Amino acid sequence: MTDTGSRIFSDAKLVVASHNQGKVTEICDLLEPLGITAISAAELGLPEPEETGSSFIENAELKARAAATASNLPALSDDSGLCVAALGNAPGIYSARWAGPDRDFAIAMQRVADALLLSGTKDRSAFFVCALSLAWPDGHIESFEGRVHGDILWPPRGDKGFGYDPIFRAQGHALSFGEMEPQDKHAISHRADAFAQLLTACFPVPS
């Protein structure tokens, strides 16, 4: 988290600072119960900043600040990825880049499977990370990181979700994220973990 003290969110609208429709949909689903009007960076025609950070939080903060400055609205950004233990936690912050310029995650998932095969290990443990950053136009920012642990499945299973979801199974569950209904994934995902921390800090329930 940031060390500047939590700021309570009191605005009626915010920008979801992502051009990834899957992420936008999940974040909007999480925001819906709060009665906040969410608009995506793509809807506003905001450019995608280059992700030059060395961590998920650095990249999330970079995107949130850029969107808040450009829109003059609070902006919520997500940076997330898959970390595979046997691959030195790759693809990690480069998870989207493994999908190539066309963001083809079938290619990315095949790259993970090929790399695991080449590694010669039977270790299939992995975890998803999600960093959420909420930035205001005045520069204040709050950041949180969530995780969900599990293992890699092959071949991919399910056509729900997005990204690497079809090859990831969370601990204690039989279905891949690609097979889960959205509400079931929302209950246990890395994004839900980070969002719960954000709610506690910035959207406390009135006493």
Which residues are annotated as catalytic? 79
11, 25, 81, 112 from 126: Cα distances, Å = 37, 24, 11, 11
SS3 204: coil
What H or E segment, with its residue span, contains residue 198?
A: helix 190-202
What H or E segment, with its residue span, contains residue 197?
A: helix 190-202
74, 114, 125, 153 from 169: Cα distances, Å = 34, 18, 10, 7
> What is the rounded CA–CA span in Å between residue 150 and residue 97?
22
